[in-house]
Copies of this chain bind each other. A is one copy, B any other.
């Protein structure tokens, strides 16, 4: 029996979050709802124009690791930081939630990655990410023993942006499969899917990825279709297990010809959608690694996603284990 539930591989990012109106996004050519990649010069310009902000650790797969750890499960993380204050903050937060994180920080430049996250009045978040130290992640950052000892190895699709991260994932997937473990990934963002569609499809079709997490837009983008049903059908053919989140419509799980639709409780007070997908994956993976059935996994995913959108930022400020117990979802 592996001793770690989920090991995640992702971009280590500190989020800098401020509210803004839609005009700000337009004026600054920020694609709404997307992860916009920016260079250090644009990062400085946008920060100058940004309103008062709060800082919190972020990063898609890092948020998932923190979410799984919040349930009390065993997690580890591979991600690249630099030896600076934001790197220290990132390291503190992920370790404080109980995730094993022993990445060697870069000495000096580039600095730890940051994403300026603008939240519009409709609670949608638009990210502007300067990848910084994340561009240096590679196969040497994978601790093979940890992968071999983890039930699930999970990575984010965003890792196709840094140059050598995909090599790290290929290595991790190989080790995981050699040890009979599961490899899971996320599609991250419909624009990210657009950048790497053929590679993502290949990952699914050649069996590198056993379990894929997507939202409706990403699934449609992957198969270049406007039809949700068509996207689901193709996902079912390409992948052993796929989950697709649909916002207020809940989520769908497709596995072995079976399609499970799971509704989500209505959330009245949506503050910030940051981390909704990441935390859905966290809830699902927690359930999955505890041996729960797929419907229960999706219910846990919906539950955590519903919690994260009621606060600012993608790391839960509440005890998800306590809340899930109170809701009768876990014992």
Interface of A toward B, CB cutoff 8 Å: 18-19, 47-48, 50-57, 66, 84-86, 89, 92-94, 96-97, 312-313, 315, 317
A66 CB contacts on chain B under 8 angstroms: 52
Q: What's the least CB distance linking A173 to chain B, in Å?
A: 29
- Given A85-B86, A86-B85; A54-B96 close (CB under 8 Å): no
13 intermolecular pairs with C-beta atoms under 8 Å apart: A19-B317, A47-B92, A52-B66, A52-B92, A52-B93, A52-B94, A52-B96, A52-B315, A53-B92, A53-B96, A54-B317, A55-B55, A85-B86
Looking at chain A's contact residues, the main secondary structure is: mixed
**Complex contact A55–B89 (CB within 8 A):** yes
For this chain, the copies found in one complex come to 2
A86 CB contacts on chain B under 8 angstroms: 85
**Complex contact A50–B312 (CB within 8 A):** no
**Complex contact A50–B85 (CB within 8 A):** no
Q: Complex Cα distance A315/B52, Å?
A: 8
A19 CB contacts on chain B under 8 angstroms: 317
Which of B18, B94, B313 interacts with A54 by CB under 8 Å?
B313
Q: What's the least CB distance linking A310 to chain B, in Å?
A: 11
Q: Complex Cα distance A51/B54, Å?
A: 17
Q: Complex Cα distance A268/B313, Å?
A: 23
A89 CB contacts on chain B under 8 angstroms: 53, 55
A47 CB contacts on chain B under 8 angstroms: 92
A313 CB contacts on chain B under 8 angstroms: 54
Q: What's the least CB distance linking A323 to chain B, in Å?
A: 13
A93 CB contacts on chain B under 8 angstroms: 52-53
Which of B53, B54, B84, B96 interacts with A85 by CB under 8 Å?
B84
Q: Complex Cα distance A97/B51, Å?
A: 7
Q: What's the least CB distance linking A69 to chain B, in Å?
A: 9
A57 CB contacts on chain B under 8 angstroms: 52
Q: Complex Cα distance A200/B19, Å?
A: 39
A54 CB contacts on chain B under 8 angstroms: 54-56, 313, 315, 317
In the complex, the chain B residue whose C-beta lies closest to that of A319 is: B19
Q: What's the least CB distance linking A118 to chain B, in Å?
A: 13
Q: What's the least CB distance linking A275 to chain B, in Å?
A: 13
In the complex, the chain B residue whose C-beta lies closest to that of A87 is: B85
15 extra A-B contacts, CB within 8 A, seeds A50-B96, A53-B89, A54-B317? A48-B92, A52-B93, A52-B96, A52-B97, A52-B315, A53-B92, A53-B96, A54-B54, A54-B56, A54-B313, A54-B315, A55-B55, A55-B56, A84-B85, A312-B317
Q: Complex Cα distance A315/B84, Å?
A: 25
Q: Complex Cα distance A93/B17, Å?
A: 11
In the complex, the chain B residue whose C-beta lies closest to that of A97 is: B52
Q: Complex Cα distance A261/B92, Å?
A: 45
Q: What's the least CB distance linking A271 to chain B, in Å?
A: 9
